[in-house]
Structure 1
């Protein structure tokens, strides 16, 4: 299953990062993202009711690939996997968490920044790494990493917006993790799900244009 999920992430390239305050709102958020063309979401584990949110999205939106984010340890990874998470995203590199994912055949995408961390994650068995925080060095850092480490599949996370998403894809990012520039907490609180849908549509358009230009 982990192989197919990584393939889906590479094909779609856009991962919407969702931080919710209750499970009641997650369905409306994901529905807006789905209508806007997003097919992969990550529910952060530091959100209240994150596990219930994962279960709910998996049940209501069977076409969505649903991940658990902000996973800090293997125990949390296991809980998320049992709740139905298709993949795990972590902010840091922890070998035990990657091993837990491999035990259940669920992809773990660990957070790394330096070339040493990135290669170590790859050697631990990570099929993709999360460059975080990407905003620290910008799109050119992805290209620079691929110089000595062309085998890396990199997801850029942190500071990704409509203004730079195209540049990250052009620089070689396999995927983008998009937070507040897509799923803004203020939009959720105000119930402006139409704006979330519109932002999703604009990100999808940028992704398609960037992919076409690379071919």
Structure 2
């Protein structure tokens, strides 16, 4: 006896002792009973398989061939349409190239060129005016700046010369009066200080 069968026999014996029966009953062990599928069930199953939607191998191959043909036809149709479209584009391009530049409407072309030239001249004249006005204003600003600088330098120079003159006057007038009042006002030269100490 294998391990599973011995274990099942032990389980049956346990169940029988708990139920109080002699152990003749079949215990549900989870295994499928062969008697479950009766001959009627088998007949119904076979009938169901025959009426199901499964197809034979030959039918499957035939369907695959039909699908491949349809796909090829679609691709061929698409390729044909692309060829026709390409041919149409090439014909249009060839007709445009055949005309060339020589066949352009000369009046319209000359008119467009004249208008472009006018616009170009206008732009250039505006640019020149703007540039000349900017240079004139820059020149005026430079002149003003220089004149202001000269004026400031002149006033500084005049101020300095006035200060020097006033210092000279004050020093000459104070030197005569300060000789008597040396001790009373301000600093005294060192030599005069020592002279006064000795005397």
User: Shorter-chain TM-score: which interval?
Assistant: under 0.3
Q: TM-score, normalized by length of structure 2? A: 0.13
| Higher relative contact order (Cα pairs below 8 Å, separated by 6+ residues) | 1
More helix by share: 2
TM-score after normalising by structure 1: 0.12
